[in-house]
Amino acid sequence: MSEILCGIDLGTTNSSIAYLEGGKPIALPLEEGSALVPSVVSLDELSGQIVIGRQAKNRMGAFPEHTIRSVKRLMGKETRIPLGPKEFSPEELSSFILQYLSRRAGEMLGQEIKKTVITVPAFFNDAQRRATIRAGELAGLEVVRIINEPTSASLVYDYASLQEEGKSRYLMVYDLGGGTFDVSILEIKGEIKEVLASCGDTVLGGDDFDERLSNYLLRHLKEKTGHDFSTSPRAFQVRLKDIAEKTKIDLSDAPYARVQEVAVISVNGQPVNLDLEVSRREYEEVIADLVEKTILKVEEALKEANLSSSDIGKVILVGGATRTPLVQRRLAEVFDRPIHHSIDPDLCVALGAAVQSGLIAGEPLGHILLDVTAHSLGVKTIDTIDRETGDADHFSTIIPRNTKVPVRKAEVYYTLTDDQKGVEVEVYQGESASCRENTRVGQFYFSLKPAAAHSPVTVEFTYDKEGVVHVTIDQKGAENRQEVTLDVRKKRVLQREGEVEGPEVLNYILEKSRRLIQEEKLPQDLRQELDRLSRDYERALRGQSEARDVDDLEDRLLEMMEEAEERLGAD
Amino acid sequence: MWSRVIRFFKKDSPSRNDLEVWKGEILEELEGIKKVLRRQTLFLEALKKEVLAQVGEKVLQDAEPIRQLAESFFYFDSFLREGPGLPSGQNEAAEMVWKKLELLLSSLGLELIRRTGEPFDPRLHQTVERAEGENGNMVVTKIIQPGYLYHGQVIRPARVIIGELPTKEKQEL
């Protein structure tokens, strides 16, 4: 069995470990199905054991003097950190996290992990880097390389099957985590990526977005009850922050979020409930200045690197808070192009470190196969008129190209006239702002209930891995909604609400061959041959052929599918 | 292949050469079947993994309104129990609703982490506050936010306040 090399993102808040399987980096779900391990260390004095990760985080409130988080901030410092009766150096504490990650990964993979690549922030000095290597050694690991986090994130995109955005040799990594923000500008010099500029804010992140939303909810409660709950017990504050975080996540995918929470606090023996709708616009208003702070840092980094926004070939988003639509929109305005991510922003640093480990080991790295949308998906709106026909022609994007699937996104549109009878929902895919230049996937009519002009209608797309889009259209406040299912690859309406599903799939071989036929990268001759064989095999299966013919066809079809997969893998 | 097998057994006194040829053909065909079966098994394994993952995701997604309902009832119930607590009849009614809700949740593989008085378990409980006291025998004294498990896996730990287990003397006092 060959040796497994891993990549580790030793983060301030969370850490993760990834490895390469068949040229593809995979993050290991070490803790209850999650690949993110809280970077928290706790000493259980009763058992004398060191506890890491989620359980250590859960102990924090109970045993604060025995627990530490964000030890990364202390790396390279000559200090001793007490955990109960014992004291540890920052690298010893980091080594516990590294040991836990490699041990759990080894258990999952059935093989001991001995070598690893570890990532560090671009601003880490020599002492901090040496302390990280020492932590690896203390954990019993050979640290084959230390790489910068932005470089690591860019590596995973290099090998992803994405189209290059221009030929510029400069790229920017915008990393907005839970509590910190970093922006780095990299120059690509052949295989080497040099960090030209790096700046950030150590106390700005997604947690601040939650806090702003918490304050918004507090103001709502004050309006509702006349009471100021800002100094209420900690239990209430904790619950409110959780509600805010959930609302923030909902608003990343939808223009509105419904908040319905029972008995968040009590006043004069009566429960105070939260029942309101928060719009994305309201949320964006309360976080706008925080996002602007990051944009100023982007401009500062560009200035430091003596570059302008047009010099940057690619913008890479790292960190969970970059899922915020306002962040993507503001960056799109600065760089004058759509900005989005197709790789999990929480894991791309670890995935990139795994790619780096593969490069060191000389493993053949093909394109990383990602389940992403090949084209942007959206609807036709009347914002632009076709000059020749006088018809509406604007393509309003709901799911941008290269978005990781499965995905759910929604946008809100407004009616034109009073008591508008209905809307023709036309779904298109493509990259042009004009629908005429894009491909129509399907269309259906949605009847509206009487309402004033400019009433909101929400269109939600849920795109699954099979290329099926479930469109939900909702006339807000009118209890009027409709669901339609579209097959994007076959460009047709599959099923309307309440209808019976279409033709059944005979067996997995046929289903798989149909999926391969839809692959855009499959050579034309192979596609045609695969299609012909699949049809023959299907006819044979349906009982019009002798068993021997079925066997022959199945064998040939399997051979051809194998060839198709090899070709796709090689490409 | 079957025609060859039938010939193999039925033909009167086949020549040695015939037998060798048929044997070779049958073995070759069996090798082919083995290959197909192996591939089919791989396909089925991949299908099984995919289906199980999809079913798991779908169940969790579909169960979300029920989980939210249980959580809402938890907060309502906690509010009612504040202060002097519930009269016995209301308490009995609330417990009956809980039993029904928990039965429904368990039929979906879900379990709510909501009970106080249980020993602090860092896998199931995340401490928000700790009451003053020694380190030993810490129990959950208040649930701030219930957690939940899906087929035994912690999807979210309960947010809790912990304190010391009251001693017998304290209880008696």
CA A304 to CA A197: how far, in whole Å? 6
pLDDT of residue A33: 82
Which residues does chain A have within 8 Å of residue B75's beta carbon, measured at their own beta carbons?
261-264
Most distant pair of Cα atoms in chain B: their distance: 102
Mutation pick from B73, B121, B144 vs chain A, by most beta carbons of A within 10 Å, is B144
Of the candidates B1, B73, B127, which has its C-beta nearest A60's C-beta?
B127
CA-to-CA distance for A74 and A10, rounded, in angstroms?
Answer: 13
**Alpha-carbon distance A559 to A552, whole Å?**
11
**Which of the following CATH numbers is that of domain A377-496: 1.10.3720.10, 3.90.1300.10, 2.60.34.10, 2.40.160.20?**
2.60.34.10
Instruction: Give the distance from residue B121's alpha carbon to the nearest chain A alpha carbon, in angstroms.
Output: 9
Half-sphere exposure of A281 (CA within 13 A, CB side): 2
Q: Residue A479 and residue A481: Cα distance in Å, rounded?
A: 7
Give exposure, A172-188, as e/b (b: 16+ Cβ within 10 Å).
bbbbbbbbbbbbbbbbb
* Per-residue model confidence (pLDDT) at position A167: 64
CATH number of A5-153: 3.30.420.40
Give B39-50 pLDDT, tens digit per residue: 677 677 777 877
Mutate to test the interface with B, among A232, A262, A273 (most CBs of B within 10 A): A262
Average pLDDT over residues B29-45: 74
pLDDT at A571: 61
A45 → closest Cβ in B75, B135, B157: B135
A218 phi/psi in degrees, rounded to 5: -60, -40
Given an 8 Å threshold on Cβ–Cβ distance, is B120 in contact with A32? no
Spell out the domain ranges in chain A.
5-153, 163-341, 377-496, 508-570
Alpha helices in A505-546 (DSSP H): 508-518, 524-539
- Per-residue pLDDT in tens (0 to 9) along chain A, 571 residues: 567 889 999 998 899 999 987 778 899 999 888 899 999 999 998 888 999 999 999 998 888 899 998 899 899 888 999 999 999 999 999 999 999 999 999 998 888 999 999 999 888 888 888 999 999 999 999 999 998 899 899 888 766 544 444 567 888 999 998 888 999 998 887 667 788 888 888 889 898 999 999 999 999 999 999 999 998 888 899 899 999 999 999 999 899 999 999 999 988 888 999 999 999 999 999 999 999 999 999 999 999 999 999 999 889 999 999 999 999 999 999 999 888 777 889 999 999 999 989 888 876 554 444 456 767 889 988 876 666 666 778 899 898 876 766 788 888 899 888 888 888 888 888 888 888 888 788 888 888 888 888 888 999 988 876 667 888 899 888 888 888 887 765 555 554 544 433 344 456 677 778 878 878 788 888 888 888 888 888 777 766 556 667 778 888 888 888 888 888 876 6
Write down the pLDDT at residue A431.
80
B138 touches A at CB < 8 Å: yes
| Partner residue opposite B128 with nearest CB, options A234, A263, A555 | A234
B56 to chain A nearest CA, in Å?
Answer: 12
- Residue-wise over B49-74: b if at least 16 C-beta within 10 A, else e? eeeeeeeeeeeeeebeeebeebbebb
Give, in order, the Cα–Cα distances in Å from A457 to each of A129, A426, A447: 53, 14, 11
Q: Residues with Cβ < 8 Å from A464, sequence gap 6 or more? A: A405, A406, A470
Residue of B nearest to A270 (CA): B79
Task: Give the position of tokens 């040695």.
Answer: B16
Closest partner residue to B153 (CB to CB) among A32, A51, A58 is A32
Q: Is the pLDDT of residue B8 over 80?
A: no
Chain A environment of B72 (Cβ under 8 Å)? 260-262
Residues across chain B: 173
Kindly report the pTM of this predicted structure.
Answer: 0.71
Helix axes B2-10, B16-80, angle to 10 degrees: 140
Phi, psi of A28 (to 5 degrees): -90, 125
| pLDDT attached to residue A36 | 94
Considering the domain delimited by A163-341, tell me its CATH architecture.
Alpha-Beta Complex (3.90)
Size of the A and B interface in Cβ pairs below 8 Å: 90
**Cβ–Cβ contact B4 with A under 8 A:** no
Same fold, A163-341 and A377-496: no
3-state SS, residue A70: coil
Rounded CA separation B90/A249 (Å): 37
Determine how many CB atoms are found less than 10 A away from the CB of residue A109: 15
For A321-370, the DSSP string reads GGG-HHHHHHHHHHHTS----SS-TTTHHHHHHHHHHHHHHT----PBP-
Residue B1: pLDDT over 70: no
pLDDT tens, residue by residue, B68-91? 999 999 999 999 988 777 888 888
Contact between chains at B129 and A235 (C-beta distance less than 8 A)? yes
pLDDT of residue B171: 45
Contact in structure between A107 and A148 (CB atoms under 8 Å): no
Domains of chain B: 1-108 (no CATH), 111-173 (2.30.22.10)
Please answer whether residues A339 and A402 qualify as being in contact, where contact means their C-beta atoms are separated by less than 8 angstroms.
no
Cβ contact, residue pair A262, B144, below 8 Å: no
Q: Which residues of A touch B (CB under 8 A)?
A: 32-33, 45-46, 51, 54-63, 234-235, 238-239, 242, 260-264, 266, 269, 271, 508-509, 512, 548, 551, 554-555, 558, 562
Cα–Cα distance for residue pair A411/A13, rounded to 1 Å: 32
Please tell me the predicted confidence (pLDDT) of residue A499: 40
Contact B127 A508 (CB under 8 A): no
The backbone torsions φ and ψ at residue B153, rounded to the nearest 5 degrees and listed phi first, read: -90, 130
